[in-house]
Amino acid sequence: MIPEHWPSRAWHRLTVDAIRRHLEQREVAEPAIEGGLGGLVSDWEELASEVEAGVARWMWEEWLNDLDTREILQDLLDNVPESRKALQAIEAADQRFAASTISTDECEWGDENAARYGWTREKNWWYWRKPPTPYE
């Protein structure tokens, strides 16, 4: 159900279509496409909560997958103007995530991948963070 405070159902459909189209073109995993912007934001907020609580333990590959969620969100913010409606929620989760994780000297994906994809510590800062609990 579309919330009453949203401008119109047609606007909502166009927004969802633009976001879905971008995710499909990027060839992200089907669950991310199906969940759309709301699902990605929810996943990022959940990760921020987990690292804040300090209770979760990650396998390294799972951690990278979680960081990739934020990268997909950034790609949407950079390329699909309609996604900016989620900026406040993303930034709030970013603050919690940054405050609860540990800065690293190297990109979690490795310097080779950072160079390959053009990631920088300034713009893609989440890739230079590790969880507060050790990897399993």
pLDDT digits (tens, 9 = 90+) for 73-130: 999 999 999 999 999 999 999 999 999 999 999 999 999 999 999 999 999 999 999 9
**Is position 135 within any domain?**
no
- Provide, rounded to the nearest whole percent, the portion of the chain with pLDDT above 70: 88
Q: Indicate the helix (H) or strand (E) that contains 132.
A: none
**Is position 52 within any domain?**
yes
pLDDT of residue 87: 97
**Is position 3 within any domain?**
no
**Is position 120 within any domain?**
yes
**Is position 136 within any domain?**
no
Number of domains in the chain: 1
Let me know how long the chain is: 136
Print the domain residue range for 39: 9-130
Q: What angle do CA 11, 17, 23 make, to 5 degrees?
A: 140
**Single pTM value for the model:** 0.85
